[in-house]
A = this chain, B = another copy of it.
């Protein structure tokens, strides 16, 4: 992906690419699961890519992690027990654990090497590795929710990459059924749901599938500068989801550390342009 002139390009379906000028390639390896690249880039700082797809960077990671975590954690009736699936860079667990009401956060990441390399190279993103409330497990998130014996979770957060490679199973009906199985009766499921612009088919498929397992769901939009065309979506789902029922005290408690999320952004981000609304079932 890195050419002679030191551009690292994420190429999407052979038709559009986002390239970062690499100032230094720091690490590249083929793990058991995927190709892992870490490099310094002039535009985005320290950057992680998996299988050639840009995942996170020091400069823009707040756009993704805050918007994945806080809409769920600021509206769920209870947030004592949280499950994070994926999220190997540590940014999602960090945002979850900023909520003092969270007593236990289990994180199930399939690729131990992503965590090890993120701890080594991306220390500003994963700052909560040593939080005693974090229970980090290396394993298969699909198996965890579909077949393991677990206490119900108040919130389940899916922080996976695109539906290729090790993340493919995270976009299927079996997985959603598993999440429904481990979710508390009033629990909330938050997931990244891809770009409605660039990955319209995946976004549409997710929105069509969720209602089979969760009576209520609501997609919302934001920006992730690192992700191609910048328009990104996440979705909340749950049996009793009330996505505008904000717990103001939780928002106030995290506000100082937020660069992207706020009560104002929460109220606004569920507004969908007509062309996105038309993709909903």
Contacts and interface: CB of A to CB of B under 8 A. Distances in A.
Contact of A225 (B221, B229, B270): B229
A273 interface: yes
A225 B223 CA distance: 10
Contacts of A265: 271-273
Interface in A94-117: none
A262 B63 CA distance: 24
- Counted per complex, copies of this chain come to 2
A147 to B, nearest CB: 39
Nearest to A227: B230
Interface string A5-35: 0010100101111111100000000000000
A266 to B, nearest CB: 9
A45 to B, nearest CB: 11
Interface in A187-232: 197-198, 221, 223-231
A261 interface: yes
A41 to B, nearest CB: 7
A260 B197 CA distance: 12
A62 B21 contact: no
Interface in A248-265: 255, 258-262, 264-265
Contacts of A43: 12, 15-16, 198
Contacts of A273: 63, 259-262, 265
Interface residues of A, number: 47
Given A16-B20, A16-B21, A260 B231 contact: no
Contacts of A231: 223, 225, 230
B267 A271 contact: yes
Contact of A274 (B15, B41, B227, B259): B259
Contact of A260 (B20, B21, B269, B275): B275
A143 interface: no
A60 interface: yes
Contact of A229 (B19, B62, B198, B230): B230
Given A7-B17, A16-B43, A262-B273, 9 more contacts: A15-B41, A197-B223, A197-B225, A226-B229, A227-B230, A262-B271, A265-B272, A265-B273, A267-B271
Interface of A: 7, 9, 12, 14-21, 41-44, 60, 62-63, 197-198, 221, 223-231, 255, 258-262, 264-265, 267-275
